[in-house]
Amino acid sequence: MNQNVHNLVDLEDLSKEELKQLLDTAIAYQEGAAVPKLKRDVKVANLFFENSTRTVTSFQTAEHRLGLSRFDVNINGSSVKKGESLADTVKTVQAIGMDLTVIRHSETGWYKALEGDSNIHLSLVNAGDGAGVHPSQTLLDLMTIQKEFGDFSGLKIAIVGDLSHSRVAKSDAKIFKELGMQVYFAGPKEWWSEELAEYGQFEEIDNLLDQVDVLMCLRVQLERLEESGRDNFTADAYHEDYGLTKARAKRMKDTAIIMHPAPVNRGVEIDSELVDGAQSRIFNQMANGVYARMAILTRVLQEQGLMEEK
Ligand code: CP
């Protein structure tokens, strides 16, 4: 059994106090706090088995700002294409000298087997696992909400769209509820996942618009429509029935904000003009992602004894 406690794979593993510390660190970095010194050269391998723009680029930026030596493995040109397993890929980068690895992989819970492997002792950071969780996205979403409202307790949020495929919905809703937010879900009823029922109730989007402080649209996973038997999907009908149209946005409170983990299908889950509009925080979320990821890496490195505490 790998007793390495220096992974960060699910925010659920942290206490409320630890989560608060992570958020404080992220905000402090954004406000210009100095980066603590590394105790030696520290190497990180980025292994992205699924596509990414935001997560990979902001982890790379975070690693650069923290002074890490960074190695981006080109998965398409790697021995994964010859059938090498995830565990052997991780053991390989470890043998080459990596201290930590940031992984995005389509397998839900990919980290569980690795955490149980006594031959793996580098730190694991989860950059998204299948339909599991997306901890760094959740942290940047929390940061975006905290910067806007100062606190979480009592805020109402609607998470709208492709709930059954979304690791963001699951990851966020769990933590939002823990922090005292009132969580609602909306979208096509057939895309609802009972798994989410413990975190909030399902409602028609039109019943939520004037209630919520945050409206979070989810990307319609167009690439998965066929495999999930949604052949009758049309972008226009979705936009009309469940999308954040300009007419729906007019019914939101003036103080409410619009979020989206992105990438965005403009004109499908949200009107294109609203993406760039005054209530949108979508690009702020992306900017916050760098600091959220710096905070995650700082926590892992300090726990590993590789970075000074202050
Ligand atoms: N939100 C998010 O995870 O975006 P990427 O897939 O581009 O990393």
Q: pLDDT, tens digit, for every residue of 168-192?
A: 999 999 999 999 999 999 999 999 9
103-108 mean pLDDT? 96
| Residues whose CB falls within 8 Å of the CB of residue 306, separated by 6 or more in sequence, listed in order | 38, 39, 40, 42, 99
Residue 123 burial (CB count, 10 A): 23
Residue pair 40/66 in contact (Cβ under 8 Å)? The answer is no
pLDDT value at residue 11: 96
Pocket test for ligand 1, best of 48, 54, 59, 61 (most atoms within 8 A of CB): 54
Q: Which of 253, 205, 242 is nearest to 220 (CA)?
A: 242
- Please tell me if the CB atom of residue 289 comes closer than 6 angstroms to any atom of ligand 1: no
- Please tell me if the CB atom of residue 137 comes closer than 6 angstroms to any atom of ligand 1: yes
The model carries a pTM of: 0.96
pLDDT value at residue 229: 67
Q: What are the residue numbers of the active site?
A: 54-55, 82, 104, 134
How far is the centre of ligand 1, averaged over its atoms, from the C-alpha of 8 (Å)?
18
CATH code 3.40.50.1370 region(s) in the chain: 11-133+289-304, 135-287
What is the C-alpha end-to-end distance of the chain, expressed in Å? 32
Q: Which of 242, 181, 190 is nearest to 211 (CA)?
A: 181
Is residue 40 exposed (0-12), middle (13-18) or buried (19+ Cβ within 10 Å)?
exposed
How far is the centre of ligand 1, averaged over its atoms, from the C-alpha of 1 (Å)?
32
Q: What angle do CA 62, 29, 212 make, to 5 degrees?
A: 95
pLDDT value at residue 1: 42
For domain 135-287, which architecture applies?
Answer: 3-Layer(aba) Sandwich (3.40)
Q: How far apart are CA 221 and CA 174, in angstroms?
A: 21
Nearest CA to ligand 1 atom 4: 54
Q: Which atom of ligand 1 is nearest to the CA of 262?
A: 1
Q: Rounded to a whole number, what is the largest CA-CA distance in the chain?
A: 57
Please name the fold of domain 11-133+289-304. Rossmann fold (3.40.50)
pLDDT band for position 165 (50/70/90)? Answer: confident
Q: Which of 92, 54, 50, 52 is nearest to 71 (CA)?
A: 92
Residue pair 89/78 in contact (Cβ under 8 Å)? The answer is yes
Q: How far apart are CA 196 and CA 163, in angstroms?
A: 8
How far is the centre of ligand 1, averaged over its atoms, from the C-alpha of 128 (Å)?
9
Helix (H, G, I), strand (E, B) or coil at 214: strand
- Please tell me if the CB atom of residue 187 comes closer than 6 angstroms to any atom of ligand 1: no
Give the percent of the chain with pLDDT over 90. Answer: 91
**Which residue type does 161 have?**
G
- Please tell me if the CB atom of residue 136 comes closer than 6 angstroms to any atom of ligand 1: no
pLDDT band for position 3 (50/70/90)? Answer: low
Sign of CA dihedral 146, 215, 219, 132: positive
Token code pair at residue 152: 């979480």
- Please tell me if the CB atom of residue 138 comes closer than 6 angstroms to any atom of ligand 1: no
CA distances (Å), origin 55, targets 134, 289, 291, 293: 10, 8, 12, 9
Q: Dump pLDDT digits (tens) for 286-306.
A: 999 999 999 999 999 999 999
- Please tell me if the CB atom of residue 171 comes closer than 6 angstroms to any atom of ligand 1: no
